[in-house]
């Protein structure tokens, strides 16, 4: 039966691999555009008595071909002098028949005409003044439309950043998305029209929409039909703490390893730093083979061949049921129900991530063959996970994979469970009566600490990532597709566990910790927004680096043991 299930896993691999072809084609890196924030450049242009387009022309020589126009607020127009703002009380004291509790604006006729129709508010005209019953200083108030038009005529890639507001009208006659804009990147924490007017907003936008990494914007999924472009930007306060080259490397990494197409930039206070920053970005993109140009939304139709992966997952469940020494079928059924109840449509992908990291530990402990078997099962699981979980929504990052934490927690626990003997009552009795030794308690505490670290340290923003590790990550990603440290650590433990004469409980403990690294392989592939080739080479680099470190560790431990024993 076991041989039949293993053959079924192999048979399911080929169509599952073929089903990934549409995703691989859609994930081809580039082109990307360097998108400069217009308002960040404006102050610099004024300091040099230049217009915005003159400043942009200078940046164009540094590779910048895009400009983003954030929507202004009424108070921005007032600060610029385009509008005058007065309370009704002030105007009444000046002798005008203004309502004391209203608020009034005066200035450019084109802008006042737009503002008169912009909000679901009553208005009144008082000569050149436009009045509102509420203070509108913090209301969105369109763009410098002439600058938008001139930037487009100059050949720049133009993005606009409209602001959602409950009182604004979503009227096609209003330039919420000016004619000629190439993309829309919503400003603020929600999409235009959220939560109740998304259909109206969708009809107005009609352009590809930027998905900002690290900034969830409710309602964004409604605009998927127009196309989604992944956008990367650094918070300006953080950017200023980074040297220009280090900041630039983060943009290059985003384009190379996470498929970002819009690189949203703000200049440094000093032109020299900005020059280094932009030059480094261009060098990194060129070295990575990523062209500059006009980005297009990436989309694909999932292949029907992906359903073959369900056969592989079912075979994996069968192997788990046969391989667990105690109540294997019941544990497997419980796992199936957990996945179906928790992940729903993503249940197959979650099962692949939970089951296949465990299968390699269920066979004989025959040295590096066990390591190869475990790695092979994990990679097979990664294929099934990717086949069943890859969709335009997950690859774009619009829909998160349900169960990311479970992929790191459940497989090591199942591996630990597999260490039980068939006569588990006698084994548990021996364990209960086993005399407690301080060394064993320390090792058990270390194992629990490492498990907690693996769960808490997910991502660069995790609370327990030391500064030294962040610097080492940065160095490694300049040299290669950086492996995950959990995987390097896990692979290194295989030779240490299998080639040294440990007591059985110590070997079990080392293999339990190694299971953390193997589970991380599936966790790597569960980040669907990362291109498949990047995830693959990350895993391969981690396996090779970990194996090499583990073999060196075996040599070191053997020599240390010989020295200790005299």
CATH of residue 280: 3.20.20.20
- Domain boundary among the residues 92, 107, 132 is at 132
| 137 part of a folded domain | no
Higher pLDDT, 195 or 563: 195
Task: Work out the end-to-end distance of the chain between its first and last CA atoms, rounded to an integer number of angstroms.
Answer: 50
Chain segment 150-185, per-residue pLDDT in tens: 999 999 999 999 999 999 999 999 999 998 899 999
| 51 part of a folded domain | yes
For residues 325 and 456, state if they share a domain.
yes
For residues 219 and 282, state if they share a domain.
yes
| 294 part of a folded domain | no
Number of independent structural domains in the chain? 3
* Tokens coding 482: 């950086």
Average pLDDT over residues 292-306: 91
| 295 part of a folded domain | no
For residues 258 and 344, state if they share a domain.
no
For residues 63 and 123, state if they share a domain.
no
Among 10, 55, 9, CA closest to 36: 55
- Domain boundary among the residues 132, 150, 176 is at 132
Residue 326 has pLDDT above 80, yes or no: yes
Chain segment 361-382, per-residue pLDDT in tens: 999 999 899 999 999 999 999 9
| 161 part of a folded domain | yes
Q: What are phi and psi of 37, to 5 degrees?
A: -70, 120
Residue 476: exposure state from Cβ atoms within 10 A (0-12, 13-18, ≥19): middle
For residues 241 and 375, state if they share a domain.
no
| 86 part of a folded domain | yes
**Dist CA 210 CA 396 (whole Å):** 11
When the pLDDT of each residue in the chain is averaged and rounded to a whole number, the result is 89
Write down the pTM of the prediction.
0.84
For residues 356 and 250, state if they share a domain.
no
Among 262, 220, 300, CA closest to 27: 300
For residues 373 and 513, state if they share a domain.
yes
Domain range enclosing 156: 30-71+142-287
| 384 part of a folded domain | yes
Residue 230's H or E segment, with its range, is strand 228-233
For residues 146 and 246, state if they share a domain.
yes
The pLDDT value recorded for residue 83 is 96
| 44 part of a folded domain | yes
Could you give the percent of the chain with pLDDT greater than 70?
90
- Domain boundary among the residues 88, 105, 132 is at 132
For residues 311 and 451, state if they share a domain.
yes
The pLDDT value recorded for residue 452 is 65
The pLDDT value recorded for residue 495 is 94
Confidence of residue 461 (pLDDT cuts 50, 70, 90): very low
Average pLDDT over residues 120-140: 95
For residues 328 and 181, state if they share a domain.
no
The pLDDT value recorded for residue 38 is 94
Residue 162 CB neighbour total at 10 angstroms: 29
For residues 473 and 505, state if they share a domain.
yes
Residue 320 near residue 332, CB atoms below 8 Å: yes
For residues 443 and 506, state if they share a domain.
yes
């Amino acid at each position: 039966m076991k041989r039949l299930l293993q053959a079924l896993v192999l048979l399911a691999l080929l169509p599952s691999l073929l089903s990934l072809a549409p995703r691989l084609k859609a994930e081809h890196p580039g082109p990307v555009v360097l998108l400069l924030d217009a308002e960040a450049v404006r102050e610099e242009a004024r300091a040099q008595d230049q217009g915005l387009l003159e400043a942009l022309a200078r940046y164009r020589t540094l590779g910048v071909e895009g400009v983003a126009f954030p929507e202004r607020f009424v108070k921005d127009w007032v600060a610029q002098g385009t509008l005058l703002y007065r309370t009704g009380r002030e105007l009444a004291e000046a002798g005008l028949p203004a309502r004391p509790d209203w608020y009034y604006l005066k200035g450019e006729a084109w802008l006042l005409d737009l503002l008169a129709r912009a909000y679901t508010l009553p208005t009144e005209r008082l000569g050149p003044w436009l009045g509102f019953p509420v203070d509108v200083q913090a209301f969105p108030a369109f763009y410098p439309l002439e600058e938008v038009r001139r930037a487009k005529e100059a050949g720049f890639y133009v993005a606009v950043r409209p602001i959602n507001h409950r009182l604004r009208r979503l009227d096609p006659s209003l330039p919420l998305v000016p004619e000629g804009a190439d993309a829309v990147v919503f400003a603020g924490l929600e999409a235009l029209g959220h939560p109740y007017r998304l259909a109206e907003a969708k009809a107005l936008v009609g352009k590809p929409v930027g998905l900002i990494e690290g900034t969830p914007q409710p309602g964004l999924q409604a605009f998927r039909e127009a196309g989604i472009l992944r956008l990367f930007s650094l918070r300006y306060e953080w950017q200023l703490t980074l040297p220009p080259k280090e900041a630039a490397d983060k943009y290059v990494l985003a384009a190379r390893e996470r498929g970002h197409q819009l690189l949203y930039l703000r200049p440094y206070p000093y032109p020299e730093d900005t020059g280094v920053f932009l030059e480094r970005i261009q060098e990194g993109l060129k070295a990575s083979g990523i062209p500059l140009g006009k980005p297009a939304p990436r989309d694909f139709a999932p292949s029907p061949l992906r359903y073959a992966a369900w056969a592989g997952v079912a075979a994996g469940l069968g192997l788990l049921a046969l391989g667990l020494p105690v109540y294997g079928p019941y544990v497997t059924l419980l796992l199936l129900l957990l996945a179906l109840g928790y992940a729903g449509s993503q249940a197959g992908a979650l099962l692949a991530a939970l089951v296949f990291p465990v299968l390699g530990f269920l066979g004989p402990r025959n040295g590096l063959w066990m390591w190869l078997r475990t790695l092979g099962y994990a990679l097979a699981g990664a294929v099934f996970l990717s086949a069943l979980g890859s969709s335009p929504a997950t690859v774009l990052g619009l829909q998160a994979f349900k169960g990311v934490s479970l992929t790191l927690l459940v497989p090591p626990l199942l591996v630990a469970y597999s260490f039980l003997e068939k006569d588990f009552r006698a084994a548990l009795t021996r364990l209960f009566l086993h005399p407690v030794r301080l060394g064993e308690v320390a090792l058990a505490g270390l194992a629990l600490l490492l498990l907690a670290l693996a769960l808490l340290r997910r991502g660069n923003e995790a609370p327990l990532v030391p500064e030294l590790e962040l610097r080492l990550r940065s160095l490694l990603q300049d040299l290669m597709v950086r492996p995950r440290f959990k995987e390097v650590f896990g692979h290194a433990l295989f030779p240490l566990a299998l080639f040294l004469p440990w007591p059985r409980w110590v070997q079990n403990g080392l293999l339990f910790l190694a299971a953390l690294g193997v589970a991380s392989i599936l966790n790597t592939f569960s980040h669907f927004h990362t291109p498949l080739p990047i995830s693959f080479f990350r895993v391969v680099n981690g396996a090779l680096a970990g194996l090499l470190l583990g073999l060196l560790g075996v040599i070191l431990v053997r020599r240390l043991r010989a020295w200790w024993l005299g």
